[in-house]
Amino acid sequence: MRTQSTFSVLFWIYSKRAINNLAVIYARITINGKKLNISLKRKADIHLWDQKKRRVKGTCPKSKDLNQYLDQEYSKLFQCYQELRIEGKILSPENIKSKYFGGFDHLVSLEDLYTYHNENFFSKLKHNTSRLYITSQNYIRRFIKKEYRRSDFYLKELDYSFIIKFENYLRSIRPRHYQTCLQHNAVMKHIQRLRKMVTLAFHLEWIDRDPFVKFKPHLEQKEREFLTVEELQKIEDLEPEIPRLQRVRDLFIFSCYTGISYGDLMLLTPQNVSIGIDKKLWIVTRREKNGNQVKLPLLSNAIIILEKYKNDEDCQVNNSLLPLISNQKLNSYLKEIAITCKIKKNVTFHLARHTFATTVALTNGVPIETVSKILGHRKLSTTQIYAKVIERKVNEDMDILQKKLNGNFAFNETRKEKIW
């Protein structure tokens, strides 16, 4: 990593654009290999320009005045560089130019962008989504401090290289609650949030180019795990002696037979339960994530759990339909249950939602459109992620197909030809 910056100023003229042998003088600022040209609004005779000394030839008063002017402008540019360095601000040709023309204070930084974004958009975001933006912003801060040894970064300096370096940084870090480094999709999510904020800056005209033009983030389609019928039955048959594990088991089973996510489950109250048009118990609620309404007729397995906690003291105090427990503890206790049931899969509470969609609903012939409605998805394509057909279902369907084929075809053993 470069610890010191290299700075230089070179004067030059654009001879090819000379008019009447007079060409505009430019100052080329170079910092750490990055260059930027500034027009000095002065002209020099192309025949008097010394290409080696970068000054005007001759000792006449006009030549002396012009060379003195160039010396003064060099001093000003060098002074701008020194002031930025002493103030601990970002050293770049753009910032030298801005300070030279007196507009440095108008540069917008990433911290300015975070403040604007959080103040104007957090009220429109769900709590979990805003929390993820805070996490992404903190990662960007740490990256800038490590890579550039600075506390902030100006938007005009954002480029393709910054994005690539940030991606590599994300792939190398290991959060405290992770067993490994961030996986590909998690890295892409953090970059997508940065992109949304930078796009906001572009629309606000804080930057005149989009550094993400050449960067194409993509998410990998991952196989969603779910419990098989046998694995689900093991957890249902389990009778933990520890009360906390009993409650966790019940919450998990309830979600397996309703598809309700953790966040929505913790918000359910007795008022969300009503009698439907079929005179049976229904849950009517809205998804916390997208606000979509969910109307769900309850299966008997779920009703049994509701009856169990109907008069629970904690539920009555909290006016909750089921016991309240943090997601972290819930997932931690589920690991104990999985070990007891000898289930080797990574059992988390969200696995219950996958299990409902795949093992309970789709495998038993519930149309995917109905499953999508129950899960509260806005698009059918979202539900298709859960539509995994397990091997047992494939085997059953192939057996049915074989029987149909056997009924429609006869085979001539001698000629080995198919006959209708």
- Residue of 43, 35, 53, 37 lying closest to 15 (CA atoms): 43
Report the pLDDT value the prediction gives residue 420, as an integer from 0 to 100.
41
Tell me: pLDDT of 258 over 90.
yes
Q: What is the mean pLDDT of residues 293-321?
A: 91
Average pLDDT over the chain, rounded to an integer: 85
Report the pLDDT value the prediction gives residue 413, as an integer from 0 to 100.
45
Predicted TM-score (pTM) of the model is: 0.58
Tell me: pLDDT of 418 over 60.
no
Model confidence band, residue 299 (pLDDT cutoffs 50, 70, 90): very high
Q: Are strands 293-297 and 281-286 parallel, antiparallel or unpaired?
A: antiparallel
Residues whose CB is less than 8 angstroms from the CB of residue 193 and which lie 6 or more positions away in sequence, other chains included: 132, 133, 136
What's the rounded Cα separation, in Å, for the pair 5 and 290? 48
What's the rounded Cα separation, in Å, for the pair 39 and 11? 10
In one-letter notation, the amino acid at residue 27 is A
Reported as a single tens digit per residue, the pLDDT across 135-164 is 999 999 999 999 988 888 888 888 899 999
Asked if residue 9 lies in contact with residue 76, where contact means CB atoms within 8 angstroms, the answer is no
Report the pLDDT value the prediction gives residue 281, as an integer from 0 to 100.
92
What is the DSSP secondary-structure string of 208-239? SS-TTTT----PPPPPPP---HHHHHHHHH--
Report the pLDDT value the prediction gives residue 183, as an integer from 0 to 100.
87
What's the rounded Cα separation, in Å, for the pair 11 and 13? 7
Report the pLDDT value the prediction gives residue 117, as an integer from 0 to 100.
92
Token reading at 50: 């010394």
Model confidence band, residue 25 (pLDDT cutoffs 50, 70, 90): very high
CATH number among 1.10.443.10, 1.10.10.10, 1.10.357.10, 1.10.3720.10, domain 229-387: 1.10.443.10
What's the rounded Cα separation, in Å, for the pair 410 and 417? 9
Reported as a single tens digit per residue, the pLDDT across 352-393 is 988 998 889 888 888 888 888 888 887 887 777 766 555 556
Segments making up each domain of the chain, as ranges: 7-105, 110-203, 229-387
In one-letter notation, the amino acid at residue 340 is T
Asked if residue 208 lies in contact with residue 198, where contact means CB atoms within 8 angstroms, the answer is no
Model confidence band, residue 402 (pLDDT cutoffs 50, 70, 90): confident
